[in-house]
Amino acid sequence: MKVSELVVKSIPRTKHSPKHPISCRHLPSHVGTQANVWTTTVTPYQRPKEEESDDEAEPSWNLNVLLSYHIPTPESSMLSSSTVIETSRKLVMGKVLALPLPHRPLFPGVYMPIYVKDPKVLAALVESRKRQAPYAGAFLIKDEQGTDPNVVSASDTEKNIYELKGKDLFSRLHEVGTLAQITSIQGDQVILIGHRRIRMTEVVSEEPLTVKVDHLKEKPYNKDDDVIKATSFEVLSTLRDVLKTSSLWKDHVQTYIQHIGDFNYARLADFGAAISGANQLQCQQVLEELDVHKRLQLTLEIVKKEMEISKIQESIAKAIEEKISGEQRRYLLNEQLKAIKKELGLETDDKTALSAKFRERLEPNKEKIPAHVMQVIEEELTKLQLLEASSSEFNVTRNYLDWLTALPWGSYSDENFDVLRAETILDEDHYGLSDVKERILEFIAVGKLRGTSQGKIICLSGPPGVGKTSIGRSIARALNRKFYRFSVGGLSDVAEIKGHRRTYIGAMPGKMVQCLKSVGTANPLVLIDEIDKLGRGHAGDPASAMLELLDPEQNANFLDHYLDVPIDLSKVLFVCTANVLEMIPNPLLDRMEVIAIAGYITDEKLHIARDYLEKSTRETCGIKPEQVEVTDAALLALIENYCREAGVRNLQKQIEKIYRKIALKLVRKDGKIEPQNAGVNEVKAESVHLSDEIKSKEETQAGAKSVEGTNDDKPSENVAESLEAPVNQMEKPTDEDTHLQEVEEVTESEASKTIEKVVVDSPNLADYVGKPIFHAERIYDQTPVGVVMGLAWTSMGGSTLYIETSLVEQGEGKGALNVTGQLGDVMKESAQIAHTVSRIILQEKEPDNHFFANSKLHLHVPAGSTPKDGPSAGCTMITSLLSLAMKKPVKPYLAMTGEVTLTGKILPIGGVKEKTIAARRSDVKTIIFPSANRRDFDELAPNVKEGLDVHFVDEYKQIYDLAF
């Protein structure tokens, strides 16, 4: 029988028990890192005499009894608790192979697996086992100088050990080590079991390192000393407490008792230090201590610390277990609640569903969302989870997240930079306005060359009804951008633009954030309507709040008070509309590019009415083109006598009025007017039961009748043949044939009716739109003395007005001027200046004429109910005064505009296009403008300038020569 197969039943050893001459063992499965049970042969030897003498007098305990703690032993893999490893009586070794230990020292009676990487050392160990001297010296390696033992990693330490050889290795080893029996060698893994302390003295051979050693014995001590007993009992008590919490220690105790035997004072100290978690220097200190009492004290300190660590470990484990179990319970309850709500059909509005909804919104554009915005969103989502659903703060956070996640961060619509397409769209929607269209096409061309379009701020200014808002909509269509319009007329609250603070009840973001949420893209076209009518209330100045929004340098980081995160508006194209630029604050106007739309002349209005307004109105009223004819003369009369404003909104109203009356006339005359597709639908309805072929023929006939009925009284022969063909194919006349004949007769009778066309011409225009509102602005064919036509600009466009001067009374020194006509301060001052300048000019031209000195004059501007103010009537007033003073009428068909200084210089004026259009409307042939306005006139379209004799003057003397 092999030695490894022997199983000797151990008997608990006492002081009087006989020594067992030989014993064998199985190495337990938990030694080292191996999980499998494996068997190792141990060479038997006898205990030396010096070892016997130590154990005779010293008391020993079975740790199981002393700790009152039962440790289960596997039946097949463990031997009894008092098996003693026998050693050779010749264990008087002077030299041993030195094995470096990287992490912890080896204590007597303790197993330790190590890995030997040096092939020479491994070969020497194998050789020593063959010679039946399987022993080596295990020495802890010292830490390198200047390194922290707690910082250096284990792999670095082992790497350094493998590199050390000979005397270098000798110098790095602690002097005191343990004589270890080599119990097993498998590959490069060597299992050691410690026996006794040794001290190395010198190097015998360097490779592999072999050293001379001295065997160390404990110092003599009194085994009955109460202090030693008390210390050992405290160590045992502490070990008992630790064993209750640590299953790993139980395994160590079991192994020790099995292979070493019962404990005495020295072994107890070694065992406690060996299985503790103390660091290597503390363990080495215990190993080097030969005073048993001191060794017990050191071990007691170590195991007490181990006990504290175990308590902390236990409390941590308990806290984590409670937390996990609480979370699991909460999770299970939540899942059950969701399932119950799902079964009952209740809507889930809990925080989890809200967070999931918000995250789902963010998912498509998650990469495009700026980092600072994403950080705010994550913080708010975390905050939402911590708040109670019933709290007011919860609703504020939910609404805030709703806005933050609904915005199109980094989402842009694909722009179309096709200039030809854009030009076609602009021409389709608007007639004329060449300067406006040219500017839009320039913007698109720049965008095409750059590959992207930076947002601009365009301001369309002009009278009402000229198409400013619709131009903005056309630009959006041409660029393929989303369109959003909001009017700021009368807006008096800054929060409408910049948003409210979130702390207020009912707080909302500003108009711009609402716009982005509504359109769903970050590059829409935003039309800000009526920007000149911004109000100013107690809640701040909205015009000042618009500065950040409309500044190309600032709106890349526009800050809304509600969102409180920067928003990039640099890609937004802003289009503003205004009637009067003077009403816009200068800092705001400075940020815009102004495009003036003066209005339309008669020819342009005629085209717009014919090509746009009439067509859309006819479709709106449900009237066919062949039923109505509005002549050019009627439209011209409508424009001249009813719709003189610069825009076409009033013209559209009058055209709608005409078509509504025509619709009423048609319905009254025929009793019933069928919808445009009624004929086809009726025939289809009545012929449901006919064959497919007959139905298709009937539909063809119905379509032909509806078109040809306007010109012919009889149905087309082709249509009749198409109806007869399927009938002739039938063998016998049936009910279907009879019904088909009825349908044919009905269709013929309907087609035979001719639709009477309603013609609207200038003579009967008053029947539709009433009496003319305006009479010709030209009151006089030949203006009398003291009357001169001037040109004025208003917010509704340009207009002509007469300035009349009349003599009240004459007498020595009665020279005076009275002004009427609801004139503003500027025009009153212009009248005083005109009176002074006209006296100077009259003195030059006719020195003997003292008209102004002796005459009381009355200057009046008609249409007194209309307020009039502005610096452009000075030259007209002077001419009127001089005409009366010299009793000379001015030339016929003459109009003038311009402000005059006291020295007779002519100052430039505004509204050249509007005034030119007004002059054409009044059949003026000759116009006088200041020289500084020549450039404005040259930019006008050729059809506006056509047929006009325009003079540009610098001084009033030139006007005098032209007027008289």
Known binding site for ATP: residues? 462-469
With left for phi above 0 and alpha for psi between -120 and 50, is residue 711 left, alpha or beta? alpha
SS3 370: coil
d(CA 853, CA 874): 20
Cα→Cα distances 143→151, 156, 160, 161, 948, Å: 11, 11, 10, 11, 109
Beta bridge partners of 140: 101
Q: Please, where are the H alpha helices in 178-246?
A: 226-245
Question: Do 258 and 83 meet the contact criterion of CB atoms below 8 Å apart?
Answer: yes
* C-alpha of 357 from chain center: 15
Distance, in Å, from the CA atom of 560 to the CA atom of 566, rounded to the nearest integer, reads: 7
Torsion of CA 232, 238, 244, 245, to 10 degrees: -140
Active site residue 453: no
Amino acid at 541: D
**Tokens of residue 644, six digits:** 């003189």
Question: Residue 140's closest CA among 187, 186, 178, 167?
Answer: 178
Backbone angles phi, psi at 374, to 5 degrees: -65, -35
Strand 899-900 with 894-896, pairing:
unpaired
Would you give the DSSP letter of residue 613? I
Report the alpha-carbon distance of residue 379 to residue 792 in Å, rounded. Answer: 62
| Cβ(798)–Cβ(777) below 8 Å | no
Rounded distance between C-alpha atoms, residue 482 and residue 522, angstroms: 9
Q: Cβ(274)–Cβ(110) under 8 Å?
A: yes
Helix (H, G, I), strand (E, B) or coil at 289: coil
Burial class (CB in 10 A: 0-12, 13-18, 19+), 634: buried
Q: Which two tokens stand for residue 635?
A: 């439209």
Using only the alpha carbons of the chain, give its radius of gyration. 56
| Contact assessment for residue 828 and residue 955, using Cβ atoms and an 8 Å cutoff | no
Contact yes or no for 944/923 (Cβ under 8 A): no
CA 314 to mean position of chain CA atoms: 48
- CB atoms closer than 10 angstroms to residue 656: 16
Q: Is 872 an annotated catalytic residue?
A: yes
Give the pair of three-digit tokens for residue 950.
Answer: 């325009």
Alpha-carbon distances of 589 from 26, 454, 485, 583, rounded to whole Å: 99, 19, 19, 10
Query: Could you count the other beta carbons within 10 Å of the beta carbon of residue 428?
Result: 13
Residues 6 or more apart whose Cβ sits within 8 Å of residue 600? 432, 466, 608, 646, 647, 648, 917
Q: Are the beta carbons of 212 and 201 closer than 8 angstroms?
A: yes
Catalytic, out of 872, 880, 883, 922: 872
To 5 degrees, how large is the angle CA 956–CA 961–CA 964?
110
Cβ-based neighbour number of residue 379 at 10 Å: 10
Q: Is the dihedral of CA 828, 830, 832, 838 positive or negative?
A: negative
Instruction: Kindly report the backbone phi and psi dihedral angles of residue 609, in degrees, each rounded to the nearest multiple of 5, phi listed first.
Output: -60, -40
Place of tokens 């108009």: 511
Residue 813 carries which side chain, given as an amino acid letter? G
Q: What token pair was written down for 136?
A: 């080596």
Q: What is the DSSP string of 510-544?
A: -HHHHHHHHH-SSS-EEEEE-GGG---BTTB-HHH
Any idea which residues carry the catalytic annotation?
Answer: 872, 915
